[in-house]
């Protein structure tokens, strides 16, 4: 006998692994395998345990020997607004703060009021005076989002279904800690996985993609704990690799991502990194920035692809305690690329940039004389890297210190200053447009 439109029960048994690939952009790909009871002929199959933020248009379901006619995503979840919408035109009871019960037909509601038809009278009741709403019957509303499949099968029975979909609400970022010890630092990295998808994933295999993907028409927790710098008992449980033109970091164990949970996993064990401390002035105000530089190579460390994230720098004192020095963000950094960390402002070094003169050479050409005074209040000499930025066609035609071209828009001067002394840098730039 043909059974049309049968609502079958989902056997909530996870078959095989759940694999989740999380991207920096707050989107993830979920690959799941479930065993479903498929009715014979034409019927309906209900799949629960899907995220509230699923992209329903991305769902791909494959069931051997089963044809899928329709895929529907039911996200009409129970809420006061949804309940009132379902009850429009029906009788409800309102229990007021005074204890009075008002009964009537629900005509309309908004954020502030509920409109009841009581016989020939229309009453407007303020919602902030209502303590309880009673319904004659419970409207049919979903308590969790579900996928509904309309299937065609020659026989009924349990079948394996491969389910793939995109969902929002899953994101990850990287966090790093550097502990300075002399002229080097111990550098470690963690990944933070944040699940706000509306669904928990049990015993899932997690992959993290570092790179910027394009999506058509679509547009970060202070770790503080220096325990992250303790020597690990084993290598970090993460394997780095590549997929397409992106870097992928795979957790080497199954883990559970609970909804509204942020999970942190060590992916880069303590690595000794050789760094250089540089004082840099960029012409704004009087502040001289403290820059820590190191090359991401196997010779100077750490020598692995570093996903975008926040780097927090501490200094270890003689007694073993740590002091926080500052933090900065780094972009996705491949191997052999230099890392520059701006961790703060030098207290005892100041600089000031002044335009001395402007010369108009022609309608489309001019020159400027610029002076930068660098003052050192320290008891030892310092070297300050002074950078300036120009646009269009430009060249340094005179200077008291050798200029170094950094790129098409940036020039750098290296200025040495003695203890409790000052040095003047003067240069002339010619600009054409």
The pLDDT tens digits of the residues spanning 292-315 come to 999 999 888 898 888 889 999 999
Q: List, in order, residues 6 or more apart from 111 with CB less than 8 Å away.
A: 127
Query: Which of 3.10.20.90, 3.30.2270.10, 2.30.30.100, 3.40.50.2300 would CATH assign to domain 82-135?
Result: 2.30.30.100
The neighbour count for residue 155, using CB atoms within 10 Å, is: 11
Segment 57-69 mean pLDDT: 91
User: 224 falls in which pLDDT band (50, 70, 90)?
Assistant: very low
pLDDT at residue 228, rounded to an integer:
31
Q: Which pLDDT band, with edges at 50, 70 and 90, does 421 fall under?
A: very high
pLDDT computed for residue 38 by the predictor: 92
- The CATH code that applies to domain 7-20+31-76+142-167 is 2.60.40
Give the confidence band of 232 by pLDDT, cuts at 50, 70, 90: very low
User: Hey, what are 159's tokens?
Assistant: 């079948």
pLDDT at residue 175 in the model: 93
| Interval 78-97 mean pLDDT | 82
CATH class of 348-432: mainly beta
Instruction: Quote the pLDDT of residue 47.
Output: 87
pLDDT at position 80 is 75
Taking only the tens place, the pLDDT of each residue in 243-270 is 556 778 888 889 999 999 999 988 888 8
Residues 131-150, mean pLDDT to the nearest whole number: 77
In the chain, what are the domain boundaries? Answer: 7-20+31-76+142-167, 82-135, 348-432
Name the strands in the sheet holding 184-195, side by side, starting at the edge strand that comes first in the sequence: 261-274, 184-195, 170-181, 309-316, 322-330
Residue 420, both tokens? 């409790």
Q: Do domains 82-135 and 348-432 have the same CATH topology?
A: no
Residue 343: pLDDT over 70: yes
238 vs 202, more confident: 202
Predicted pLDDT of residue 267? 85
DSSP string, 238-260: EEEEEETTEEEEEESS-EEE-TT
User: Residue 6 — very low, low, confident or very high, per pLDDT cuts 50/70/90?
Assistant: very low
Neighbour count for residue 269 (Cβ, 10 Å)? 17
Predicted confidence at residue 305, as pLDDT, reads: 85
pLDDT digits (tens, 9 = 90+) for 145-181: 788 889 999 999 999 999 999 999 999 999 999 999 9
**Residue of higher predicted confidence among 215 and 98:** 98
Mean per-residue pLDDT, 124-140? 83
Cα(430)–Cα(428) distance, integer angstroms: 7
When comparing pLDDT for 83 and 152, which is higher?
A: 152
Mean pLDDT of the chain: 85
Residue 234 in this model has a pLDDT that exceeds 50 = no
Percent of the chain past pLDDT 70, that is, above it, reads 85
Report, as an integer, the average pLDDT of 386-400. Answer: 95
Confidence of residue 16 (pLDDT cuts 50, 70, 90): low
Which residue matches tokens 């770790």?
A: 223
User: What is the pLDDT, as a whole number, of residue 10?
Assistant: 31
Query: Which residues lie below 8 Å from residue 413, measured CB to CB, with a gap of 6+?
Result: 372, 385, 386, 387, 399, 401, 402, 403, 404, 425, 427
Q: Is the pLDDT of residue 83 over 80?
A: no
Parallel, antiparallel or unpaired: strands 101-109 and 91-96 = antiparallel
Confidence of residue 94 (pLDDT cuts 50, 70, 90): very high
| Top-confidence residue, 228 or 201 | 201
Checking 281-284 for CB contacts under 8 A at 24+ apart, the result is 281/351, 281/353, 281/372, 281/374, 281/384, 281/385, 281/386, 281/387, 282/387, 282/388, 282/389, 283/353, 283/372, 283/386, 283/387, 283/388, 283/389
> Is the entire prediction scored with pTM above 0.95?
no
Query: Does the structure show a pLDDT above 90 at 393?
Result: yes
- Using pLDDT thresholds of 50, 70 and 90, give the confidence band for residue 183: confident
Average the pLDDT over 347-363 and give the result. 95
By 3-state DSSP, what share of the chain in percent is helix, strand and coil, each rounded to 5? 5, 65, 35
């Amino acid at each position: 006998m043909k059974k049309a439109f049968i609502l079958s029960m989902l056997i909530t048994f996870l078959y095989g692994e759940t694999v989740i690939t999380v991207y920096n952009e707050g989107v993830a790909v979920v690959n799941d395998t479930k065993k479903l009871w498929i009715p014979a002929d034409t019927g309906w199959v209900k799949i629960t345990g899907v995220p509230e933020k699923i992209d329903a248009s991305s769902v791909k379901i494959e069931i051997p020997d089963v044809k899928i006619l329709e895929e529907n995503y039911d996200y009409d979840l129970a809420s006061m607004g949804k309940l009132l919408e379902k009850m429009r035109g029906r009788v409800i009871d309102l229990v007021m703060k005074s204890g009075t019960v008002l009964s009537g037909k629900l005509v309309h509601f908004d954020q502030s009021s509920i409109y009841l038809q009581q016989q020939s009278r229309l009453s407007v009741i303020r919602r902030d005076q209502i303590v309880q709403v009673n319904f004659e019957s419970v409207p049919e509303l979903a308590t969790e989002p579900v996928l509904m499949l309309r299937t065609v099968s020659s026989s009924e029975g349990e079948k394996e279904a491969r389910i793939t979909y995109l969902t929002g609400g899953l994101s990850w970022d990287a966090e790093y800690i550097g502990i300075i010890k002399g002229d080097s630092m111990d550098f470690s990295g963690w990944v933070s996985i944040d699940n706000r998808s509306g669904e928990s994933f049990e015993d899932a295999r997690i992959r993290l993609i570092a790179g910027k993907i394009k999506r058509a028409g679509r547009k970060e927790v202070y770790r503080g704990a220096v325990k992250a710098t303790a020597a690990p008992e084993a290598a970090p449980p993460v394997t780095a690799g590549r997929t397409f033109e992106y870097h992928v970091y795979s957790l080497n164990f199954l883990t559970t991502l609970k909804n509204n949970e942020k999970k942190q996993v060590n992916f880069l064990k303590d690595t000794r990194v050789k760094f250089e401390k540089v004082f840099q002035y960029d012409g704004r105000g009087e502040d001289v920035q403290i820059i820590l530089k190191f090359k991401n190579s196997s010779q100077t460390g750490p020598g692995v692809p570093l996903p975008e994230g926040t780097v927090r720098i501490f200094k270890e004192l003689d007694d073993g305690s740590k002091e926080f020095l500052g933090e900065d963000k780094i972009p996705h950094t491949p191997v052999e690329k230099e890392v520059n960390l701006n961790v703060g402002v030098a207290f005892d070094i100041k600089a000031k940039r002044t335009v001395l003169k402007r010369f108009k050479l022609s309608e489309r050409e001019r020159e400027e004389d610029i002076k930068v005074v660098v003052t050192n209040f320290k008891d030892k000499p310092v070297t300050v890297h002074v950078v300036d930025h120009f646009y269009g066609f430009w060249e340094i035609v005179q200077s008291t210190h050798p200029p170094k071209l950094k790129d098409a828009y940036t020039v750098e001067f290296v200025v040495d200053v003695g203890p409790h002394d000052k040095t003047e840098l003067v240069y002339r730039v010619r600009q054409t447009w």
